Amino acid sequence: MGYTAPLEDYAFLLHRVMQVQSLGIPGYAELDEGFTAAVLEAAGKIAADVLAPLNTVGDREGCVLENGVVRTPEGFKAAFEQLRAGGWMALDCAAEYGGQGLPYLMHTAVNEAFVSANMALNMYQGLTHGAYSALRAHGTAEQKAYYLPKLASCEWTGTMNLTEPQCGTDLGLIRTRAEAEGEAWRITGTKIFISAGDHDMAENIVHLVLAKAPGGGEGTRGISLFVVPKVLADGTRNAVSVGKLEAKMGIHGSATCVMNYDGAQGWLVGDLHKGMRAMFTMMNEARLGVGCQGYAVAEAAYQAATAYAKDRLQGRMAEGAGPAQPLIVHPDIRRSLMDQKAFIEGARALTFWGASLIDRGHHGDAAAEGLASLLIPVIKGFLTDKGFESTVQAQQIWGGHGYIEDNPASQFVRDARIAMIYEGANGVQALDLVGRKLASDGGKAIRAFLQMILAECQALEGDAAMEPVAKPLKRAAGQLQEALVYFMSVAGQSPQDALAGSTDFLHLMGHVSLGLMWLRMAKAAQGAENIPFLQAKLVTARHFMTRQLPTCALHLARIMAGGETVMALPAEAF
């Protein structure tokens, strides 16, 4: 029941659906089928042969804090060295800093395979990628020259230090302080929930730390961003230490640390008191990466559940005598597997498209950047909500064996759960979408998104083969439009009515987004019904449209119910 990277699906998306070489995005013309196949096959091999066998090891052993240093599970260090030696961490990093200069889309595809194989181990390089991006965008020339080559190679790894015991999302409440000392700063405070805050797999750890410097005022206006290395340039230890290693529900192989800064030396990144702007540079990529985690763990769970359903003998298709048959003959098992398949493949397509929009944005396409910004809360929130739900569905197929730790189902459920929480809990993603993103730039992005869907549906009118896919999507897009009109009608006098429906709107938009992906995939699969892979795409597209997309009506009804029952009770009544 080992993991196998879905290479055929990667190729289908890149070359049949997206047709990447024709998109006109710098670097995409070189992504021919032979090249992408070679890269992704190699990634799939290291995922299956190196990372996946350590997934259970990491879960059972976890990390250990010994004498101030975090020890990772057996085999992690050697596997990390293989990733480093293969240049996998530097896939989309700039060539001038030792990277391979490939588009972010290729990083995303490779990242999916690595997450599916071993989410916990992959997090060490994932956080490093975020630190690299922030320093590349906002660091000084000296900072870039000093840090970026080491981060690109993962000789050094990186972290993001935001959360404190008294504040999570509301970063204006942070208490970590920065005091100037010559060209450097002294950083003092405590940060919690710091993924990869310490470990034994790299020579140095580069912390990006939000702190308040004098003169910045209250709230987020006073926040600055600092780079604080574990080891200073002269080889001495900086005044940063691990106060505690968290015991977590899942991703046990990923070190989640309490970090204490006791006057540690740090250097300002970007402008003073503009730390939030610098930190948000990496948020779109980080949140897309978490959305990828949502469906990537679901993919691994789906593969294990499918193998079990084909092997496990249980009951018969029809009443009467005869030998027991595999679970997969039963309609309810098929329903569950089809729901998982439709979600995962739609989520993959949405994430790949989102990555291509980020690539466009990197090259100055403001419209693509705006659309990516609109979709990020959906990719992060919807894909992790549904990804967790999908792992639970996969666990259910195992029956009682899914609840036993000798089998993999429990770990998938436990690991997937965190993706709904970190990088902004999903309720916050929904509030961001409804409260900020919809109205951003006068609502230009959401209007463009709806126009795109309607145009693609209308282009298929009269196509008998595509109508079963296009008609339901057009109807769902209309329901999304109804929700927007409702929000506009209540936003002025009763914003609580709009915000009470924010999670339902995020899911409504998520279903519509996946519907658009299935429209594109079905269109790309037309005319090849004799090819089993493409025939499966057409069937799965119809399944999504008939069994999943109708959920949009439920979400719309909830949205239009407003917030009266949500907000009616006084706090003491709970």
User: Which residues are tagged catalytic?
Assistant: 423
Helix, strand or coil for residue 66? strand
Q: Tell me how far apart the alpha carbons of residues 255 and 126 are, in angstroms, rounded to a whole number.
A: 13
Whole-number Cα distances in Å, 525 to 262, 312, 466, 521, 544 = 59, 32, 11, 6, 15
Q: Tell me how far apart the alpha carbons of residues 104 and 349 are, in angstroms, rounded to a whole number.
A: 15
Q: Tell me how far apart the alpha carbons of residues 21 and 44 are, in angstroms, rounded to a whole number.
A: 22
Q: What would the DSSP string read from start to end of 166-187?
A: TBSS-GGG---EEEEETTEEEE
- For the chain, what is the radius of gyration of the CA atoms? 24
Contact call for residues 294 and 419 (beta carbons, < 8 A):
yes
H-state helical runs in 491-563: 495-499, 502-525, 532-543, 551-560
CA count, 13 A, side-chain hemisphere, 219: 1
Residue 231: its H or E element: none
Whole-number Cα distances in Å, 112 to 80, 89, 297, 316, 470 = 16, 13, 9, 37, 29
Q: What angle do CA 480, 482, 483 make, to 5 degrees?
A: 65
Instruction: For the chain, count helices (H), then strands (E).
Output: 19, 9
Closest CA to 200 of 74, 47, 91: 74
Residue 197: its H or E element: none
Q: Which two tokens stand for residue 402?
A: 């899914």
Helix, strand or coil for residue 207? strand
Where in 451-493 does DSSP place strands (E)?
none
Residue 526: its H or E element: none
Closest CA to 480 of 512, 527, 503, 449: 512
Q: Tell me how far apart the alpha carbons of residues 480 and 303 are, in angstroms, rounded to a whole number.
A: 33
Alpha-carbon 558 to chain mean position: 27
Whole-number Cα distances in Å, 393 to 299, 310, 332, 340, 390 = 12, 16, 11, 8, 5
Q: Tell me how far apart the alpha carbons of residues 474 and 314 are, in angstroms, rounded to a whole number.
A: 41
Phi/psi at 274 (nearest 5 deg)?
-120, 35
Q: Tell me how far apart the alpha carbons of residues 397 and 116 are, in angstroms, rounded to a whole number.
A: 19
Alpha-carbon 123 to chain mean position: 11
